[in-house]
A and B are shown apart, each in its own frame.
Chain A
């Protein structure tokens, strides 16, 4: 596949390399579905990294909340998944991908209060149906794709020089 970049024709590989060269830092974390004991660890690791590289306090708060909600959704609704942190010079991207039940109606799932959490999960304090809306509130751009029976992908973009409050 060919892509146009400026006046040059480049192959997809080359394009990817250009894109990747902008990535200052990346790390992948595994998330285990159903593991409520270690749930939340990846999002803690992620914000510790961001603190060490001097990301702004308010941005860390937004990422902390978005990452935690996304991680919990994998724990609750999927078998396993990954959370991929990518730091660019101008933004932070969290890619969360899972293999799980998928979301049938994304628009509905995005509604505050909508939840299919089980009774047990609700007893543990989850299932308010506020996770996805919270992610959306804290992200600058959020993309969700999902295939029922296969899995779900979230791309959470947070700009490094934006204020969203």
Chain B
């Protein structure tokens, strides 16, 4: 694997990319430039939100995930689908059937994450109960939100709930149980997340709160979708219906905003989705404006994980499917509170270490130099038209001005500046004649 492929979630396919600037405009951290008619990602600034993937009209932004063919290297393979998978196949196909079919695709075992979602919710509630003080506490579920906080809002890292998300907790538990039960070593077990999310591969390869992730890979829902769909259509009768413990309706709700808090006794929470709204709300958190809020759920994707870029079903239908499943399975608590309390006290859910602030680099390491560059950027900005046209290869005029200051672009790259000069020369020439 090359360095880029483990560090980040997407790459640009140079052959397909025509340099149309759509992704560059959509990037919330201004990590993309267009040079020589090709988009380039500055991985230093990329937070793996998948916006570029979502907007590219030419499918030139490619997600980096585990290929199903890679599974061979594990002796015992476990499929751990995000509850979002249950929302992808229409409204009369039940989670059990999906799990059955998924298993037939080559897993030795499949596991329903929803139950662990419910447990995690109780663990978070326990944390809120035991830790009064800093507020609002922010969900750790969306790895991109964690990254966004580290980079853009580093001062509020300590508000992230120090509890691992369900996928990690489920994997931790499965690895222990299965290795005991089947008498195989933990290393021989491969736990693969079936995911709507472009960022999971990065969070698995480079976890922010532990040395090594409990997961071994992530397969995109859209990559495995056709295979599941075909088998579902062929199956004459639902199989293997009772092999799993009852599905948790509360847990399934984690696929949409509000899911984490729906089961909680606290009423003072908010849920936000979409990258720009998330940035807005985190700005308010940084101001100290939301102290009265107990818990804040943020999802980078619009409508939460059902809006993940690697899904197939459109997110409105997927959301309605999730809501229906919640109704079908009810909001009866399926896990024992005392078990969760015990595991909580044993720190079973806890981060190994806190999320560290990783602010974006300032304009210069030296403060006086940084201030000089800030002023210079303002000066250059005044020479630019302010139309944010993107022809220069930067997403907007201020970013272009910054690129100039940082020596990454020259003023003549701005078509407005260069033609104005050009026109002036021409006029000058005409006058002489």
Contacts and interface: CB of A to CB of B under 8 A. Distances in A.
A51 B360 contact: yes
Given A40-B284, A57-B154, A64-B287, A25 B374 contact: yes
B282 to A, nearest CB: 11
Interface in B124-165: 154-156
Q: Please report whether the interface of chain A is mostly helix, strand, loop or mixed according to DSSP.
A: helix
B426 interface: no
Given A24-B371, A64-B286, A68-B289, A53 B362 contact: yes
Please indicate which of the listed interface residues B155, B284, B364, B370 has the most CB atoms of chain A within 10 Å of its own CB: B155
Query: For this complex, into which size category does the number of interface residues on chain A fall?
Result: 20 to 34
B292 A125 contact: yes
Nearest to B378: A27
A58 interface: yes
Interface in B352-408: 357, 359-360, 362-365, 367-368, 370-371, 374-375
A129 to B, nearest CB: 13
B246 interface: no
Contacts of B283: 40, 44
Contacts of B368: 24, 89
A72 B287 CA distance: 11
Most buried by B among A44, A57, A67: A57
A58 B365 CA distance: 17
B374 A49 contact: yes
Contact of A53 (B155, B357, B370): B370
Contacts of B155: 57-58, 60-61, 64
B362 A25 contact: no
Nearest to B362: A54
A52 interface: yes
B238 interface: no
A58 B156 CA distance: 9
Interface in A29-83: 40, 43-44, 47, 49, 51-55, 57-58, 60-61, 64-65, 67-69
A23 to B, nearest CB: 10
Give the dominant DSSP class at B's interface: helix
A67 B284 CA distance: 12
A134 interface: yes
A142 interface: no
A154 interface: no
A64 B286 CA distance: 6
A57 B363 contact: no
Nearest to B285: A64
Interface in B267-297: 283-284, 286-289, 292
Nearest to B287: A68
B370 A65 contact: no
A52 B365 CA distance: 10
A35 to B, nearest CB: 16
Interface in A112-165: 125, 134
Given A51-B362, A54-B364, A61-B156, A87 B371 contact: yes
Given A44-B283, A58-B155, A68 B288 contact: yes
Nearest to A58: B155
A119 to B, nearest CB: 17
A64 to B, nearest CB: 5
Contacts of A58: 155
Contacts of B287: 40, 43-44, 64-65, 67-68
B148 to A, nearest CB: 14
Contact of A40 (B289, B363, B367): B289
Contacts of B286: 47, 61, 64
A65 B374 CA distance: 23
9 contacts: A25-B371, A49-B374, A51-B360, A51-B362, A53-B362, A57-B357, A60-B155, A64-B286, A89-B368
Given A53-B370, A57-B155, A89-B368, 5 more contacts: A40-B287, A44-B283, A47-B286, A54-B362, A60-B154
Interface of A: 24-25, 40, 43-44, 47, 49, 51-55, 57-58, 60-61, 64-65, 67-69, 87, 89, 125, 134
- 3 smallest A-B Cβ distances: which pairs? A54-B362, A61-B155, A68-B287
